[in-house]
Amino acid sequence: MNLHQAHKSDKPPPEQVLDAAAACFMEKGYAGASLDDVARHMGATKGRIYHYFASKSDLMHAVRKHAMDLNFAAIRPGYDSALPPLEKFRAMAEAHALNMIAEQRYQKALFDSLHFHITRGTSTGHDARMEEFIADRRLFEDMFREVLQAGRKAGVFRIKTISVALHTVLTTLNSTLYWYTPRAEETEQDRQAVAAELVDMALRALGVSPDVITKEKSK
């Protein structure tokens, strides 16, 4: 769907605005997308946007927060499970990889807003909200970090530096944002296969042998 196609949805109006904004920010970037673009995407007027969001920066903040909420919701079941470290990592990592595919517009918008903040700088008020996002992202990373530490202690992850391992595996799991293009005929099974392959790569980066990976997947 391009920017000039009306966005129809049964979702509540604020969520419709967020969906349209995420799509526009994904396509044109935060700097390039305007509230007029968002309104056209919805087939509505800017007044409908202003009813819920006072400015483009407020709208971007809401999109970013929703993206992080989706991220936490995806990995929480695996994180809260009583699984051993390797299986827990797979559960969290596959859920995250699938979320990157399913919610691509929100995740691309999130990454673009971070890039915009780093390269352009923002007002003090917006900086405060960016700090809120950075704190959320740190908490998200800490959930993975905790599992990596447990896996290293148990001897299943052969890693030297936790932070290096963490960012290596997250870069792998996030990579679909840059190369994956959804196909009309694709199935959930297709997406799951992509996610599983990415997790296998991440596990190999953590020092898990192919034999152990195969054995773990067959359980």
Instruction: Give 217's pLDDT tier (boundaries 50, 70, 90).
Output: confident
The total number of structural domains in the chain stands at 2
Q: How confident is the model at residue 133 (pLDDT cuts 50, 70, 90)?
A: confident
Distance of CA 100 to the CA centre of its chain: 5
Res. 112 pLDDT band, cuts 50 70 90: confident
Residue 80 pLDDT exceeds 60: yes
User: Which residues have a Cβ under 8 Å from the Cβ of 151 and sit 6 or more positions away?
Assistant: 85, 86, 89, 157, 206
pLDDT digits (tens, 9 = 90+) for 173-202: 999 999 999 888 999 999 999 999 999 999
Domain identity same for 81 and 62: yes
Q: pTM of this prediction?
A: 0.87
DSSP-assigned letter for residue 115: H
Instruction: Give me the domain span that covers residue 102.
Output: 57-217
Res. 85 pLDDT band, cuts 50 70 90: very high
CB-CB contact of 40 with 5 (8 Å): no
Residues 64 and 162 in one domain: yes
Per-residue CA distances from 28 to 36, 123, 164 (Å): 12, 22, 32
CATH value at residue 24: 1.10.10.60
